[in-house]
Structure 1
Amino acid sequence: MAVASPGGAASGNSIYARVMWRFMPLLFVCYVVAYLDRVNVGFAKLQMLNDLHFSEAMYGFGAGIFFVGYFFFEVPSNLLLHRVGARRWIARIMVTWAVIAALTAWVTSPAMFYALRFVLGIAEAGFFPGLVLYLTYWFPAHRRGKMVAFLMAGNPVSGIVGGPVSGLILQRLAGYGGMAGWQWLFIIEALPALLLGVIIYFFLDDRVKDAQWLTEDDRAHIQREIDAEARAKSHASVGQTLSSLKVWLLCAILFGIVMGSYAVGFWQPTIIKASGITDPLTIGLLTIVPYLSALVSMIVVGRHADRTRERRWHVVIPQLVAACGFVLCGFAGTHPWLALAGLTMAATGVITALPMFWALPTSFLGGAGAAAGIALINSTGNLAGFVSPAVVGWLKTLTHSLTPSLFLIAACLCLSALLILTRMPAKLVNQ
């Protein structure tokens, strides 16, 4: 039974701790599953390309076309979430993407692969920006950086868990029931999303006023802080937000970060294999190292960013670390430990930069404009999820080497960091 809390900072900490433990573990697990279902094609590739006679360019295009569907339906999806509530909409997203992800197991041609990846992007559109928007309903800006970092810790955790599990499925279930290991991979890893979609529908509260597990005083405390912050934010219309130069600048910044993120997500197994390690389970186990480093880094950096209320350098420095990591991977050749060191720097940098980035737009966007702006930034920035694997696959087919692509990714990260330092004033985003 909830007990009314007196005012003060200690009381506020206690209230927000209860909110965090109510929602964040569930949302965290959902994000783990979402990221795993999005990039497990990188592991399926180890067997799928030979079985289906796909080229590297075909794989890269199919992996990336997910983000084209994602782009076109992201803003409408987030606006619908803002209108109908997170509980119904996030549940709908998870159930539909689970079904489509599982159907990928029966792909037999490039056209089918492209179509299912495109539709999967449509199904998942609005999921991550919807979660970010949902956090703005419950946490003020000075507490939200840590929450976004906690949520996005699902990215490295999906790698820590998904790498070995994916490798094990590929190794142990190949041929079982007359199906290939990569087919079992898509089916088995889609099931958690289906279950979580049902749990979300019955468990999530849309707004603070719906939280009957909090006392009236606790709900009032949270709402006062959210309302006070909202009054200081820009409440431009949807149209004004979508035409804002600041919003489009943030799209470009995120584009550079995501170029690096999906270079890791879609090509990490390939980079490790190219260094001389061919066993799928061993590759899966080695992917734990970069993701463990990234997990520790994003939590430490997220806490430091909230404590200091500084936002820009907490994005820029991880980006520069990642760029150095990609360059190191480019020189690794057949030296597995050098490749692993580069991947560790690259994964740590981009995975840390992503949650730190989301403190920038949520620090000055509010209301329906926030719903539209966050969705536009995420969808446009995530077009790099199409460009990154497509360009890497094309360059690898053309040059028979990943090195030119890795140098290109490093350059994108450096340019993104430069835009933050030269075009995003500290007074706008430091809260």
Structure 2
Amino acid sequence: MTDSALSYRHSSAPPTADSTVVEGTYRKVTLRLMTFLFLCWVLNYLDRVNVSFAQLQLKQDLGLSDAAYGLGVSLFFIGYILLEVPSTLLLKRIGARKTVTRIMLLWGGISTCMAFMTAPWQFYLARTLLGAAEAGFWPGIILYLTYWYPSKRRARITSRFLLAIAAAGIIGGPLSGFILQNFADVWGYRNWQWLFFLEGLPAVVAGIVAFFYVTDKPEQADWLSDEQKRIIIDALEDDRRLQPSNAPSRLLTALCNPRVYVLAAGWATVPLCGTILNYWTPTIIEQAGISNVLHIGLLSALPYLVGALAMLVIARSSDIKLERRWHFVASTTAGAAGAALLTLLTHNWPVAIACLSLVSISYFAAAAIIWSIPPTYLVGDAAAGGIGVISSLGQVGAFFGPILLGWVKSITGSFAAGLLLVAVLVFAGGVIVLVGVPRNKQDA
């Protein structure tokens, strides 16, 4: 702990604070930091998945098959996987302010430049560079939350951060549909080019703002009173005392902990649901009989809305009961059921939306739950590196998912076989976490 932090621990403020003051403190932190990070994640995720709408015309202009499109989507995860751990460790060293600035500037710049692609190789290169640019954002924010929130608040605050993905889906679908419908051949550019340009530029602006706005740690927050700083620092210190005495504190020790790989296996099932939701929802809705791009965009928002609401309920229940395993299994089971039912019901659009909503529940709720587990038994470098390892290994599913679904669609003309495999893997991931994670965090 820093000398600054110690000074707040021994300040003249009372040893305990009124619950109203405590809640007011965390409300202030959430409004100040999480609102901005929420916006960054919305812009980030919007730029990641808008390719699912662009592909409706992009594939024809660049000469991409379904398999080639799936490959391009998956290439995103090569740089992402390779740089997750280094980027998360770098955040621990240089802070969230510089890290978010770097990621948003690079991300926004690359996404904007995708508007000028003219060949498949440029699509592949752009997707690879996007993954490298974003690497470390998600696990970095998970680590960053441990600097501000004790464990009993993390599932709920993580769920609120994950709402940004839902917001990107809810906003992005109608917005992308509007751009595609109304910007066709404006100033001689294709509608998908305008899509990348108009949705990529705001990320650049957010990167500039981040440098002046984000605060790395509570003791550096000049917008908090001394009492508010003490409340946060004391809560975090109390949280550390509840961690098991043998909690890994060095990266190499964490890498030898089998639970890191159990959580990585569980986390790998979440991006599989994300592959269906983020990259193939417009195609599934189109195959269900909806041809108008604006209507596709509007309908694609519904599963995100259902998933977001379910996530808030499930995450709150998990925090109140301090139970993670069964909440995670319930979430993954919903996703597995949705993926399996999609193989039978894709030609009826209302039912297809319902199935996609089950996939969405798994995608959001399972992510909120699983990321509340690692900080309970990883500290120091192990927390930064271990979270990065879990995130990067888990993205293996995200890498192979689009390739698998694109290849199956090209060969068979249907998603059925790929969706069934996803259903099995997602259900298995929930069982692995149930069996491999201790019942209580004190047992970790």
TM-score bracket, shorter-length normalisation: over 0.9
Separation in structure 2 between the aligned mates of residue 52 and residue 118 of structure 1, nearest angstrom: 17
Is contact 1:5-1:11 (8 Å) kept?
Answer: no
Residues 224 and 4 (structure 1), Cα distance of their counterparts in 2 relative to 1, 3 Å cut: closer
Unaligned ranges ≥5, structure 1: none
Q: CA deviation at 1:4?
A: 9.5
Alignment of structure 1 residues 298-377 onto 2, 5 Å:
298-377=311-390
Larger displacement relative to structure 2 (313-322 or 229-238): 229-238
Q: Secondary structure at the match of 1:426?
A: coil
Q: 2:134 aligns with which of 109, 124, 127?
A: 124
Q: Does 1:106 align with 2:116?
A: yes
1:369-427 Cα deviation digits (max 9, x unpaired):
11111111111111222111011001111111111111111111110011011111212
Partner of 1:249: 262
Q: Does 1:379 align with 2:392?
A: yes
Partner of 1:417: 430
Larger displacement relative to structure 2 (13-22 or 35-44): 13-22
Q: CA deviation at 1:429?
A: 7.2
Separation in structure 2 between the aligned mates of residue 373 and residue 132 of structure 1, nearest angstrom: 11
Q: CA deviation at 1:25?
A: 1.0
1:222-266 Cα deviation digits (max 9, x unpaired):
112212322444242112222321111111111112111222111
Is contact 1:311-1:430 (8 Å) kept?
Answer: no
Partner of 1:158: 168
Separation in structure 1 between the aligned mates of residue 435 and residue 389 of structure 2, nearest angstrom: 22
Q: Does 1:400 align with 2:419?
A: no
Alignment of structure 1 residues 9-48 onto 2, 5 Å:
9-48=19-58
Separation in structure 2 between the aligned mates of residue 118 and residue 243 of structure 1, nearest angstrom: 30
Is contact 2:270-2:362 (8 Å) kept?
Answer: no
Q: CA deviation at 1:295?
A: 1.4
Separation in structure 2 between the aligned mates of residue 92 and residue 230 of structure 1, nearest angstrom: 30
- Counterpart AA for 1:370: A
Larger displacement relative to structure 2 (350-359 or 279-288): 350-359
Residues 7 and 430 (structure 1), Cα distance of their counterparts in 2 relative to 1, 3 Å cut: farther
Q: 1:143 aligns with which of 137, 145, 153?
A: 153
Q: CA deviation at 1:285?
A: 0.4
Is contact 2:63-2:120 (8 Å) kept?
Answer: no
Q: Secondary structure at the match of 2:440?
A: helix
Q: Secondary structure at the match of 1:214?
A: coil
Partner of 2:225: 215
- Counterpart AA for 1:376: V
Q: CA deviation at 1:430?
A: 8.9
Partner of 2:275: 262
Q: 1:92 aligns with which of 91, 102, 106?
A: 102
- Counterpart AA for 2:286: K
Partner of 2:183: 173
Separation in structure 2 between the aligned mates of residue 50 and residue 243 of structure 1, nearest angstrom: 48
Separation in structure 1 between the aligned mates of residue 152 and residue 314 of structure 2, nearest angstrom: 14
Partner of 1:292: 305
How many residues align? The count is 429
Q: Secondary structure at the match of 1:188?
A: helix
Separation in structure 2 between the aligned mates of residue 217 and residue 4 of structure 1, nearest angstrom: 9
Identical-pair percentage? 37
Separation in structure 1 between the aligned mates of residue 370 and residue 36 of structure 2, nearest angstrom: 22
Separation in structure 1 between the aligned mates of residue 335 and residue 50 of structure 2, nearest angstrom: 22
Q: CA deviation at 1:108?
A: 2.0
Is contact 1:360-1:429 (8 Å) kept?
Answer: no
Q: CA deviation at 1:14?
A: 2.2
Separation in structure 2 between the aligned mates of residue 429 and residue 119 of structure 1, nearest angstrom: 41
Unaligned ranges ≥5, structure 2: 1-12
Separation in structure 2 between the aligned mates of residue 338 and residue 5 of structure 1, nearest angstrom: 56
Alignment of structure 1 residues 271-286 onto 2, 5 Å:
271-286=284-299
Residues 79 and 16 (structure 1), Cα distance of their counterparts in 2 relative to 1, 3 Å cut: same
Q: 2:212 aligns with which of 197, 202, 212?
A: 202
Separation in structure 2 between the aligned mates of residue 11 and residue 311 of structure 1, nearest angstrom: 28
Is contact 1:79-1:371 (8 Å) kept?
Answer: yes
Separation in structure 2 between the aligned mates of residue 297 and residue 86 of structure 1, nearest angstrom: 29
Q: Secondary structure at the match of 2:249?
A: coil
TM-score by length of 2: 0.93
